[in-house]
Chains A and B, each alone.
Chain A
Amino acid sequence: MTFTQFALNNVRRNTRVYLAYFLSSVFTIMVFFSFAVNLFHPVISSRSGGAIEIIMGQTEAAILVFSFLFVFISVNAFLKVRSKEFGILMILGMTKKQLRKLIFLENMMIGYLAIVVGITIGFIFSKFLLMILSNILSCESLSFYFPYEAIILTTVFFTLIILGISALTPRIIRTSNIITLLKGAKRPNTEIKFSVILSFLAVLLLGMGYFMAVSSHLYGIHPFLNEIILFIEKLPYAEAVLTTSVVVGTYLFFPQLSIFVLHRMKKNKRFYMKRTNMLWISDLIYRIRDNARMLFLVTILSAVAFTAVTGVYALSSVVKDESLKDNPFALTYTSYSSNDKVKQHIELIDKMLESYGFKYKKYMSEVIKQVSGDKRTIHIIKMTDYNNRVSLLGLEQITLDKDQALLVPVYVRFDPKRDRTLSQKKVSLDNGNINLEVVGIAPKVIFYSGLFQNLVVVNDETYDRITGIQEKFHSYSYDIPDWMKTLEVTEKLREELGVGEHGKYFWSTRIEGYTLENQNKKLFLYVGFFLGAIFFLGASSFLYFRLYTDLNQEKSKYIGISKLGLSFKELKKVASIQIAVLFFTPYILASIHTYFAIKVLQTVLYSSVFKQFLIVMAVFLILNSIYFATVRSRYVNYLKRFIV
């Protein structure tokens, strides 16, 4: 028997032990490969540089990181189970180098078999993914192609992962301590230590992260708070600081804070000594300590999955809403005063819309651009034009005196307290010749988001008195009730009018923005659900692996207690509480993380996404409960066989 044969024998004759590891590798490779097939598809890669390629590329990178973690954790569990075997080999005089070689050879054999199987299954799966993708991009159906790039990428990356893992092996198996290895995977139940300082730090870090996430929503409650919020917002890499503090807080939560809580429960003797409470509390402390790192990973993976799914679901369900708010009018044509074709163009648009059978209503407004002495641009619209325009948008008609002004926001999301232009109390025009008092702020954008910043509504008489005119715009806005069908006519008009002419005119439609956003958001939805699904599956299987490995140790413990007279019903209760804590603590913590992550998302969205958050969390709660129920009943039934 040569060394290579030895490694081969290990793999060949140990299928039961290797199977879980092999299957998780196949699963990871399949996911990675099928996504790579999407990524390298000729149609997609030809659209390089666009949002699609970036989104897909980043998703693949996320899957890669996940793959490494997933394979590493399975390998870790798998090597821990075999520690006695390694102890024997070390005492027989195996060098560290030989051990590394053995693990490498075994991993290579399993890994390459997993790559072949994973890619084969991935071929079929990727066909399915391509179908979804071509539907999303509403392009010609993405044909099946021979994905040699994806095959190379998958093979190279997983070879690197295998190499990385064999390099890390001596760290996983503490080769220096042969005696411990020979005793096997059993860990001594040493006294649990926790530190009040670290528990406090966990609370502090989580609190800080959460506070940073919601800070912009809290502005204006108290002046001192405002100072803090402004300080946070000016912080460099605020997002990185936020993420790090939540991640570190979560990392400390399990070995410190949760033990701290259980320890308090233990101190409360009336609760602790009551019936079976003592059993599950004292045992749970050890289980959490032993599984702290795994629970941390499960929490983070679940939080990523929940956030991805909630985020994309929220984005996609508000996309129509958002484009309505972004573009109150279906079509807006804006002309500079030097544009001599304005009449011709408007007639063309009217005729075109009519020929397609659209009903429409046109609103024309005149807007003056003025640049004040201190180089600030101000746009002015008269009261009549404003009232005419907002009659469609459902806003109140206004009446202004000669020395009054109304401010209009330029972006959909605006903050009257913090926006520099919207918070001015007085407006002066014509270098101080006309001074107006601000009486209010319009509640909505009245052209489209981004057009005419620092827009002021004034009395018609005042408007006519204005002398400093940098530019006079004429803006024609069309309201088309059937705007969802205007894509074709827009394309026709683009052929005639192009995108506009610098210094002459420009125009935009709601349907174009909507279509682009819709496609991007559907892609997000696809990617988000995909990532969410594999991360959630991954997180769940970590838990399962762990329970499975611990089962033997648990079994002997339960047999022992049952001999002392613990009824099966009580045993079921004890086991259920423990498994429930292991299953639902990460879920609860992850959903809190997600809530705050969504708060960050909320700052860039106009519509509230709380409802979507609740729906997604409910779906995951149901999935998690089904999974819990299955695992629990299998677990309890297994124990039942051994109970006296």
Chain B
Amino acid sequence: MEILKLKHISKIYGDKVQYSALKDINLTIEKGEFVGIMGPSGSGKTTLLNVISTIDPPTSGEVLINGENPYRLESSKLALFRRSKLGFVFQDFNLIDSLTIGENIVLPLTLDGHRVSAMNKKLKDTAARLNIENIINKRTFEVSGGQAQRAAIARAIIHSPLLLLADEPTGNLDSKAAKDVMELFESINRETGVTTVMVTHDPRSASYCHRVIFIKDGQFFNEIHCGESRQQFYQQIMDVLSFLGGEENDLYPIRLK
């Protein structure tokens, strides 16, 4: 079943001086898939994620999430759509400082007006799954980056979304914490079957995906699937990246005569 379908997505910024951030992107993601989006800086990967996240309408083309175009909804319906169908994880966690970790996690349920007893039960289950029960009464500035990101993931999945969207979730973490977070993404994807789309520039993080899509200059460039071994997949990703990167630098030896 298709969870996400992008049809001929283009995005142009600017009025006088126009700049094409995305050019005719087509993408289909099936239920339960774990997809990574990669590309050099300025390639449009974050713009693409924002378009999928329903916060940046495309200039042309159509976004279908579970068969529905969220940009056709009026603003309060769109908010309800985000609240029930989507989960977000950000590079800088974006936890709210005035709330405890636990309160941050239940925030989507609070906005949806759930009963307190139901919230507490879900909080307990989710925290146990993510192994953060011991910090739910702490404040955001009392926990480490890895713990904060775990809390953010808990917030993103507590309402069992259809689609989990992550923007450089390991960008602010050290390699150990990054590994933990990626393993968590993988296990959540495996156990709950939540469709996950993640933007990253870290090939090691990307190697946890089932499939990695590469974009360059706002256009679809390549896509590779994970085969038998993660190590081999990592190598493949590195190969594509070095090819992409080589062109980006514009440092052809032949020019440096």
B45: CB under 8 A from chain A?
A: no
Assuming the A-B contacts A9-B99, A182-B94, are A3 and B75 also in contact, with contact meaning beta carbons closer than 8 angstroms in the complex? no
Distance, CA A88 to CA B108, complexed state (A)? 11
A179 cross-chain contacts in B, Cβ below 8 A: 50, 55-56
Of A93-101, A506-514, A575-583, which stretch is located at the interface? A93-101
Residue of chain B at shortest CB distance from A99: B79
Q: Mark A77-107, 1 if CB is under 8 A from B, else 0.
A: 0000000110011111111111000000000
Do B111 and A91 touch across chains, with their CB atoms under 8 A apart? no
Do B79 and A95 touch across chains, with their CB atoms under 8 A apart? yes
Distance, CA A85 to CA B81, complexed state (A)? 20
Find residues 146-165 in chain B having any chain A CB closer than 8 Å to their own CB. 155
Q: Interface residues of A, CB < 8 Å — how many?
A: 27
Do A95 and B76 touch across chains, with their CB atoms under 8 A apart? yes
Do B94 and A98 touch across chains, with their CB atoms under 8 A apart? no
Q: Mark B65-105, 1 if CB is under 8 A from A, else 0.
A: 00000000001100111111010100000101111000100
The binding surface of chain B is classed by DSSP as helix
B4 cross-chain contacts in A, Cβ below 8 A: none
Distance, CA A98 to CA B75, complexed state (A)? 12
Do A14 and B98 touch across chains, with their CB atoms under 8 A apart? yes
Residue of chain B at shortest CB distance from A10: B98
The binding surface of chain A is classed by DSSP as helix
Distance, CA A3 to CA B119, complexed state (A)? 12
B53: CB under 8 A from chain A?
A: yes
23 contacts between A and B (CB under 8 A): A1-B103, A1-B106, A1-B116, A2-B110, A2-B116, A6-B107, A13-B97, A13-B98, A14-B97, A84-B94, A85-B96, A89-B111, A91-B88, A92-B107, A93-B80, A93-B84, A93-B86, A98-B79, A98-B111, A175-B75, A176-B75, A178-B55, A179-B50
B227 cross-chain contacts in A, Cβ below 8 A: none
User: How distant is B156 from chain A, measured CB to nearest CB, in Å?
Assistant: 9
Task: Give the residue of A84, A95, A175, A176 whose beta carbon is less than 8 angstroms from that of B80.
Answer: A95
A95 cross-chain contacts in B, Cβ below 8 A: 75-76, 79-80
Task: Give the residue of B76, B86, B94, B110 whose beta carbon is less than 8 angstroms from that of A88.
Answer: B94
B97 cross-chain contacts in A, Cβ below 8 A: 13-14, 85
Residue of chain A at shortest CB distance from B113: A3
User: How distant is A621 from chain B, measured CB to nearest CB, in Å?
Assistant: 42
B112 cross-chain contacts in A, Cβ below 8 A: 93
Distance, CA A615 to CA B11, complexed state (A)? 63
Distance, CA A584 to CA B32, complexed state (A)? 64
Question: Which of A9, A89, A90, A91: most chain B CB closer than 10 A?
Answer: A91
Distance, CA A93 to CA B78, complexed state (A)? 8
A182 cross-chain contacts in B, Cβ below 8 A: 94
Do A1 and B79 touch across chains, with their CB atoms under 8 A apart? no
Q: Mark A586-604, 1 if CB is under 8 A from B, else 0.
A: 0000000000000000000
A9 cross-chain contacts in B, Cβ below 8 A: 98-99, 103
B96 cross-chain contacts in A, Cβ below 8 A: 85, 88-89
Task: Give the residue of B76, B94, B111 whose beta carbon is less than 8 angstroms from that of A3.
Answer: B111
Do A94 and B116 touch across chains, with their CB atoms under 8 A apart? no
Do B110 and A1 touch across chains, with their CB atoms under 8 A apart? yes
Q: Mark A1-37, 1 if CB is under 8 A from B, else 0.
A: 1110010011011100000000000000000000000
A178 cross-chain contacts in B, Cβ below 8 A: 55
